[in-house]
Amino acid sequence: MEHHSKYPIGHVIGFLLSIVFTIAALYVALYTNLSRSIIIWTIGLFAFIQAGVQLFMFMHVKEGENGKVNVGNMVYSIIIAIVVVYGTIWVMHF
């Protein structure tokens, strides 16, 4: 039987990381002289990382008896979404 602490340190760390990624995205958007496309890609990268932090810190994806299966299903879903989006863009472009 696992011992759970009454103080949710994982939630606090997840919250602080989410704030850091939000502030980093805001800084890149407002205070850098990067091109617009690089800014958009950087904000998207920060958003993707922040979504991962929230899945693992708040939603406890790896916990339970199907932890590895849940992670595998998420990776598979992301791959399918990327193929569908870029496949659609490719078909519409050509």
pLDDT of 16: 94
Q: Give residue 4's pLDDT band: very low, low, confident or very high (50, 70, 90).
A: low
**Tens digits of per-residue pLDDT, 52-80?**
888 888 877 777 777 778 888 888 999 99
Burial of 70 (0-12, 13-18, 19+ CB in 10 A): middle
The pLDDT assigned to 72 comes to: 85
- Report DSSP state, residue 8: -
**What 8-state DSSP symbol labels residue 3?**
-
DSSP secondary structure of 35-64: -HHHHHHHHHHHHHHHHHHHHHHTS-TT-S
- Mean pLDDT value across the chain: 88
On the question of pLDDT at 28 being above 70, the answer is yes
32 contacts 39 by C-beta, under 8 angstroms: yes
- Global pTM reads 0.70
Q: Where are the domains of the chain?
A: 1-60, 64-94
Q: Is residue 26 over pLDDT 80?
A: yes
Q: At what angle do helices 36-57 and 9-31 cross, to 10 degrees?
A: 170
How distant, in Å, are the alpha carbons of 66, 74, 80 from that of 18?
26, 20, 26
